């Protein structure tokens, strides 16, 4: 899976995804650590990567502003990282890359919500 990680994603999560064999790029590697959220989503679209974040504001960008990029929103804290990582692994094994590029997925402890993005065009 090709993923673009927001600057707020824990380093332990980046390592976890790498260890699972996913193609992980961090926004910091692209010189975009301080880039506005909207530009991060556009970059994910350009690179054909699924955007992974801990910032709930991306839901507004996807569903209100209509930026149809695939997002995985992690509801993760240091205290629940192992359980959220297990659910994240489950999500990445359940859905294919094309499906995730057209969805907003909220990953929590032992559950996730998958919502298909419908383009307003």
pLDDT, one tens digit per residue, over 55-109 is 999 999 999 888 889 999 999 999 999 999 999 999 999 999 999 999 999 999 9
pTM (2 decimals)?
0.95
Q: Which residues pair with 106 in a beta bridge?
A: 73, 113
pLDDT at residue number 66: 87
Q: What residue numbers bound the domain in which 94 lies?
A: 2-116
Pick from 109, 110, 105: nearest CA to 53? 105
| Contact (CB, 8 A) for 40 and 65 | no
Residue 83 belongs to a domain: yes
pLDDT surpasses 60 at 121: no
Look at residue 92 and tell me if it is in a domain: yes
User: Does 17 map to a domain?
Assistant: yes
Question: How far apart are the C-alpha atoms of 51 and 28, rounded to whole Å?
Answer: 13
Structural domain count of the chain = 1
38 falls within a domain: yes
- Say whether pLDDT at 48 is over 90: yes
Name residue, tokens 């980046």: 14
Residue 121 lies in a domain: no
| Structural domain includes residue 55 | yes
Residue 106 forms part of a structural domain? yes
């Amino acid at each position: 899976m090709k993923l673009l990680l927001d600057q707020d994603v824990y380093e332990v999560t980046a390592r976890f995804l790498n260890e699972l064999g996913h193609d992980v790029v961090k926004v910091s590697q692209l010189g975009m650590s301080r880039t506005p959220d909207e530009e991060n989503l556009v970059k994910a679209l350009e690179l054909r990567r699924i955007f992974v974040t801990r910032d709930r504001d991306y839901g507004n960008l996807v569903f209100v502003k209509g930026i149809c990029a695939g997002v995985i929103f992690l509801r993760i804290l240091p205290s629940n990282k192992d359980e959220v990582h297990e659910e994240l692994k489950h999500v990445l094994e359940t859905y294919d890359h094309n499906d995730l590029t057209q969805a907003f997925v909220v990953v929590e402890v032992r559950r996730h919500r998958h919502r298909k993005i419908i383009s307003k065009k």
